[in-house]
Chains A and B, each alone.
Chain A
Amino acid sequence: MKKTLGVYIHIPFCARKCAYCDFLSVPAKPDIQKAYVEQLTEEIRQSGEILGGYEIKTVFFGGGTPSILKADWLVGILESLRTEAAFSEETEITVEANPGTVDKEKLLCYREAGINRLSFGLQSADNNELYSLGRIHTWEQFLESYECARKAGFQNMNVDLMSALPGQTAAGWRKTLEKVLVLQPEHLSAYSLIIEEGTPFYEKYGGHPNLLPSEEEERQMYHDTKEILKEQGYERYEISNYAKQGYVCRHNLGYWNRTDYKGFGLGAASLLNNVRTANQTKFWEYLKGNREGSAERLSKQAIREEHFFLGLRKTEGVAPGEYREHYQELITRLKEQGLLKEEDAKVRLTDFGIDVSNYVLAQFLD
């Protein structure tokens, strides 16, 4: 049986950059988008040999805003992938979409091409918050796009939300959750806003943490999220991700489980046979065909560390397995500190451990 593979495809275009975003994305005209798609297709074609050895389990179009592309270009990328590698009936194929960039026609086109999962970047159900985040859409536009997707036949949908926004209260956040829950999406991502350097938000809030919700409020929102979603039948399966039974995002789990994945496009990262590579991050260089970026063969130590600092993001935890002896002392200490729990031969973060996950995960670096 062939090894399984996750494929990530990066589409670095946005109608406009959001105020908090530090991912690789640029606004671009259609002819440049087209040139990029051609380069991406070429990259896939040239990776035929690698892809041929795998069965593709998941495909994820991320961005930027993949849905900004013309539907037939995006479908074309998927087709070239199908030419080079084997897919199965169950292959999870996700496209990230921003409200306002999809219509009925585009969505039908996606369905026809076998795309079976849609991830909407909503972030907030409050139009004022959306405006201050620099989003291009309103709550109403989202509703329209969402309904459109349901009508087109999407039965596996995610909604991305963001908490701890400037000026947001725990009550405001609950309101966003309640509004979204009326729609009963199969999957929800809820991240806390992190102020990243080099973003307009950093300029505005970097030196003024008092303008943001306090840590106490932020944790309140996080704990509320878990409670509210649990009542509605969602399980938290990863620090910031919630799903109804059977709808976890298999692609993202692959990152935490360290199964092989191959990324295509600007800055895309791959893990193949314990070698981590990343593509060129300069757009114009990539467009010229200079795709190579960094490559690192993981040492035994790095693999061991990753096993924990990635695996622990899953709420089911991670089996220490062959590394138990190496980390036994640390695991015992973290358990004593109330940061880890151990059940069924797996260690996992406690609620407190999740609150300070950065601290806990860093302990596993030797």
Chain B
Amino acid sequence: MAAVDQSKIRNFCIVAHIDHGKSTLADRIIEKTGLLTSREMQSQVLDNMELERERGITIKAQTVRTVYKAQNGEEYIFNLIDTPGHVDFNYEVSRSLAACDGAILVVDAAQGIEAQTLANVYLALDHNLDVMPVINKIDLPSAEPQRVIDEIEDVIGIEAQDAPLISAKTGQNVDEVLEQIVERIPAPKGDPDAPLQALIFDSVYDPYKGVIIFCRIKEGTVKKGTPIRMMATGAEADVVETGYFGAGQFIPCEELSAGMVGYLTGSIKNVKDTRVGDTVTDRNHPCAEPLPGYKRVQSMVYCGLYPADGAKYPDLRDALEKLQLNDAALQFEPETSIALGFGFRCGFLGLLHLEIIQERLEREYNLDLVTTAPGVIYRVHKSNGEMIELTNPSNLPDPSEIEYMEEPMVSAEIMVTTEFIGSIMELCQERRGIYLGMEYMEETRALLKYELPLNEIIYDFFDALKSRSRGYASFDYDFKGYVQSELVKLDILINREEVDALSFIVHGASAYDRGRKMCEKLKDEIPRHLFEIPIQAAVGGKIIARETVKAMRKDVLAKCYGGDISRKRKLLEKQKEGKKRMRQIGNVEIPQKAFMSVLKLDDKK
């Protein structure tokens, strides 16, 4: 391939609130630039995990290179870097943005600006990207493009009067977007002869090639044989292949030079060596300093994952190892629960990340899982000066050894229509939120700012938010730091035996309420036994709530007619089958779903 003229390259991403049409626009751009015919396009090329397509969100960053012949007769290379669309993956988003020179902001013509729109735009502006607004879904009857344009100008403060008014769904006016990409997104800069400086914005593991590093070359040139080093992890390799991204395929090329977006491989065994945000350099001619902004991703949310069938423990370990090859943010270590047997304590970026991993384990690896209540990392300061980071409530030291505890806080922004402000504030109050302020976006919508404990939002906050705003509220948050807090461990006793897998850390003031709800929920989940089962919640050995599952008095079969035994057998088998999905705690059988259903305790539906 001939040397690429930097002025003919456009590296950009698309940012949007969920469901505003980001992936559809990406598809349309790919289709219009002629990389694929529409027949070849599986809808939404970039969301290529089954799960992503189902949930309509992007989990992993995807990248594609297309060639666009502009109206001025010149051909331009477009590198479209699709960013993950959820707050759990904010760091990945920021690294993807750092690989771009500009961003397309997609806003729904009917819904206008949402919490994630703002969060993503600010992130893009933080990276000095030129933001080019696009108003989508103008084909909807409820579309109000002019109102949304004004809103963008008022709220975000960027010029939007000439924003293309498009329908990504029908393809209407998408050509205008392509022209504006050429005109408004700046061409990359950088010296191809300078020492190599490349930003890793993603990596995937391929069984044949090893880790494939997705990178943006900021300075210098890389080609086959270049001896490289990742500046943060220190991992070294020799480049085996460089290339760029076709749709769903890797296309090798001679070299990647400053301004280009592409991939490189070097028989690297583990994605842990190629952390997102790290800088790749030539170890013989290293650059003076790494690119700014690298940080090691930290798991924010922890939970226990156990195989429903204890014999599947090795399978679960294999599956986690395989997933981790592609997901450096997933952490796990073995743990044992008295109630659930052998399993793993796993760390995730957030609840969505947790759900995705859980679903992938169940679907792709055919595992039946029991998940314990997710929790955050608490800092326990012991009287002897030691500080431990607590991820499993069962490991909480004896209260006498604890000086104080800290919990993580987030700053949250909630966008809501004015009619629901009251109920959302009430929700935040219940979740121990600290009110920071409120801004009116326009007459009917406001942005509420709260500081909230992370452990109050990981359970069912998002569901509660949606149900109390009839789906209208949107939400975004940022990790803020640790603050000292009155935390206690809430234990659940079933038939007077403590069930370790049900213990969790809670704020002292919510302990009674949470304990009561847990008991009520468990009462509904635990089937009746031949004996009465007390369900109790306790803090520090003191019972604070109790429910009772009454003893089974009657369980009889219907009349068996004309010797039709098979029906009777089926009934008995069904009963027996139900038992297999139970966990035996002492002499009580607890259905596996009881361990999970207790997570949803918001009762204002």
Question: What is the interface of chain A, defined by CB distance below 8 A to chain B?
Answer: 6, 8, 10, 23, 60, 62, 191-192, 194, 196, 215-216, 218-219, 239-240, 254-255, 261, 263, 267-271, 276, 278, 294, 296, 305-306, 309-310, 337, 339, 354-359, 361-363, 365
A359 touches B530 (CB 8 A): yes
Q: With A10-B562, A194-B558 given, is the CB distance from A365 to B552 under 8 Å?
A: no
Q: Whole-angstrom distance between the alpha carbons of A365 and B573 in the complex?
A: 7
Q: How far is the CB of A98 from chain B (nearest CB, A)?
A: 15
Extra A-B contacts (10), CB below 8 Å, given A255-B560, A365-B569? A6-B563, A194-B559, A219-B553, A240-B559, A270-B563, A271-B563, A276-B566, A306-B569, A309-B572, A339-B530
Report how far A196 CA is from B573 CA in the complex, Å.
Answer: 18
Per-residue contact bits, chain B 555-598, to A (CB 8 Å; 1 contact, 0 not): 11111111111101101110110010000000000000000000
Q: Distance in Å from the Cβ of A40 to the closest Cβ of chain B?
A: 14
B554 within 8 A of A: yes
- Closest B residue to A240 by beta carbon equals B559
Q: How far is the CB of B67 from chain A (nearest CB, A)?
A: 62
Min CB gap A294→B, angstroms: 7
Q: How far is the CB of A275 from chain B (nearest CB, A)?
A: 12
User: In the complex, A215 Cα to B555 Cα: how many Å?
Assistant: 9
**B558 touching A215, Cβ below 8 Å:** no
Interface majority SS on A: helix, strand, loop or mixed?
A: mixed
CB-based contact B572/A216 at 8 Å: no
> With the chains together, A111 CA to B380 CA distance in Å?
88
A107 to chain B, nearest CB (A): 23
List residues of chain A with CB within 8 A of the CB of B571.
Answer: 358
5 pairs of A and B residues whose beta carbons are closest in the complex? A358-B555, A194-B558, A362-B575, A356-B555, A215-B553
For the complex formed, measure the closest distance between the CB of A93 and the CB atoms of chain B, giving whole angstroms.
16
Q: Which of A194, A263, A357, A363 contacts B563 (CB 8 A)?
A: A263
- Complex Cα distance A255/B573, Å? 19
Beyond A240-B559, A309-B572, A362-B576, whether A269 also contacts B554 by CB under 8 A is no
CB distance from B302 to the nearest CB of A (A): 38
A62 engages B561 (CB within 8 Å): yes
* Docked complex Cα distance between A8 and B565 (Å): 14
Q: Is the CB of B561 within 8 A of A356?
A: no
Would A268 and B575 count as touching, CB distance under 8 A?
no
CB distance from A73 to the nearest CB of B (A): 19
- Can you offer 14 A-B residue contacts whose CB atoms are under 8 A? A6-B563, A10-B562, A240-B559, A267-B562, A268-B562, A269-B566, A276-B566, A278-B564, A278-B566, A306-B565, A355-B556, A356-B552, A358-B557, A362-B573
CB-CB < 8 A to A196: which residues of B? 558
**Interface residues of B: mostly helix, strand, loop or mixed?**
loop
Q: Are B559 and A269 in contact (CB under 8 A)?
A: no
Give CA–CA (A239, B555) in the complex, Å. Answer: 13
Q: Give the complex CA separation of A276 and B562 in angstroms.
A: 13
B525-563 contact mask (Cβ, 8 Å, vs A): 1 or 0 = 000001000000000000000000000111111111111
Cα(A261)–Cα(B564), bound, Å: 11
Q: A278 vs B579: C-alpha distance in the bound complex, in angstroms?
A: 29
Question: Which residues does chain B contribute within 8 Å of A10, judged by CB atoms?
Answer: 562
B-chain residues with CB within 8 Å of residue A337 when the two chains form the complex: 530
Chain B residue contacts of A194, Cβ below 8 A: 556-559
Is A269 in contact with B565, judged by CB distance below 8 angstroms? yes
Query: Shortest Cβ distance from A299 into chain B, in angstroms?
Result: 12
CA distance A276 to B530 in the complex (A): 33
Contacts of B564 in A (CB 8 A): 267, 269, 278
Q: Is the CB of A8 within 8 A of B554?
A: no
Q: How far is the CB of A195 from chain B (nearest CB, A)?
A: 9
**Which chain A residue shows the least CB distance to B553?**
A215
User: How many Å from the CB of B578 to the closest CB on chain A?
Assistant: 9
**CA of A349 to CA of B568 in the docked complex: distance in angstroms?**
18
A328 to chain B, nearest CB (A): 19
A240 to B559, CA, bound (A): 9
Q: Would you list which residues of chain B between 172 and 203 have a CB under 8 Å from chain A?
A: none
Of all chain B residues, which has the CB nearest A6? B563
The CA of A294 and the CA of B562, in the complex, are separated in Å by 15
Given the complex of chains A and B, what is the CA–CA distance between A191 and B573 in angstroms?
A: 22
A219→B554 contact, CB < 8 A: yes
Quick check: B575 and A358 within 8 Å, CB to CB?
yes
A220 to chain B, nearest CB (A): 10
Q: Point out the residues of chain B lying under 8 angstroms from A255, CB to CB.
A: 560, 563, 565
Whether the pair B563, A356 counts as a contact (CB closer than 8 A) is: no
CB-based nearest B residue for A162: B559
Taking a contact as CB atoms under 8 Å apart, the answer to whether A355 and B554 are in contact is: yes
Residue pair B556, A192 in contact (C-beta under 8 Å): yes
Give the CA-CA distance A334 to B563 in the complex, in Å: 27
* A263→B564 CA distance, assembly (Å): 10
- Residue in chain A with minimal CB distance to B557: A358
Instruction: Check if A261 sits within 8 Å of B563, measured CB to CB.
Output: yes
- Contacts A194-B558, A219-B553 given; indicate if A359 touches B565 (C-beta within 8 A): no
Q: How far is the CA of A261 from the CA of B561 in the complex (A)?
A: 13
Report the nearest B residue to A356, measured CB to CB. B555
Please give the distance in Å from A365's CB to the nearest CB on chain B: 5
Q: How far is the CA of A296 from the CA of B567 in the complex (A)?
A: 13
Q: How far is the CA of A6 from the CA of B579 in the complex (A)?
A: 36
